[in-house]
Amino acid sequence: MQNLKLPITIDPYKSAQRRLECEGIFELSEMNRLLAVCQNNSEHVHVKFNFDVDELGLVVISGKGSASVSLTCQRCTDTFDYELALDFTFSPVKNAEAAESLPSYYDAIELDENGEVNLRELVEDELMLAIPLIPRHDLKDCQSPADSVWGELPEEHDKPNPFDVLKKLK
């Protein structure tokens, strides 16, 4: 299968009327916001888009995608490979008021001044949301210092209870 570059922007209404399905790639090097928080392992983000009209007459943009990136482990500060997976469903809206009237199972995406959706920004946003809040290795793979203990508290030393003095007053 040949990897085709996807268009950056597209008219979702015309695409939904044609029930367009497109699959291709975006260059990971062009996603500056994403690369500010991780390093790229692969050159491309593979994405598949489906444009459709649902039973309510709403235009729906759904799709799946994946990209391989390197993240910094927050325990040991080493980098590790991570596969970002996307699965999204959007409905384009003209403004915030229209977004409020969408069913809860759709995310809203605002149209630009030309009535189009920026697919590359949509994918970049979804990739950034797919990054774990606290990226880290599996505990067995982590190169954290040996004196670190995860999930266990040190034993308490026997300390005298300060209220024992009050018992003597009784």
pLDDT of residue 1: 40
pLDDT of residue 169: 80
Q: What residue numbers bound the domain in which 61 lies?
A: 9-169
94 pLDDT band, cuts 50/70/90, is: confident
Q: Is residue 3 part of a domain?
A: no
Instruction: Look at residue 150 and tell me whether its pLDDT is greater than 70.
Output: no
pLDDT of residue 147: 46
Burial of 64 (0-12, 13-18, 19+ CB in 10 A): middle
Q: Is residue 50 part of a domain?
A: yes
Q: Is residue 18 part of a domain?
A: yes
Considering the entire predicted model, what is its pTM? 0.76
Contact 59, 53 (CB under 8 A): yes
Distances (CA, A) of 25 to 2, 30, 57, 63, 143: 10, 12, 29, 13, 34
Our measurement of the distance from residue 142's CA atom to the centroid of its chain's CA atoms, rounded to an integer in Å, reads 23
Q: Is residue 100 part of a domain?
A: yes
The larger pLDDT score, comparing residue 23 to residue 139, is at: 23
Q: Is residue 27 part of a domain?
A: yes
Residue pLDDT, tens place only, 97-144:
888 888 888 998 989 888 899 999 999 999 999 999 989 888 777 876
Mean pLDDT of 37-60: 90
Report phi then psi at 13, rounded to 5. Answer: -70, -45
pLDDT of residue 59: 93
pLDDT of residue 148: 55
Q: Is residue 1 part of a domain?
A: no
Q: Is residue 2 part of a domain?
A: no
Strand partners of residue 36: none
% of the chain at pLDDT higher than 70? 90
Give me the number of domains the chain comprises.
1
Q: Is residue 23 part of a domain?
A: yes
Burial of 20 (0-12, 13-18, 19+ CB in 10 A): middle
For 15, the token pair is 């695409």
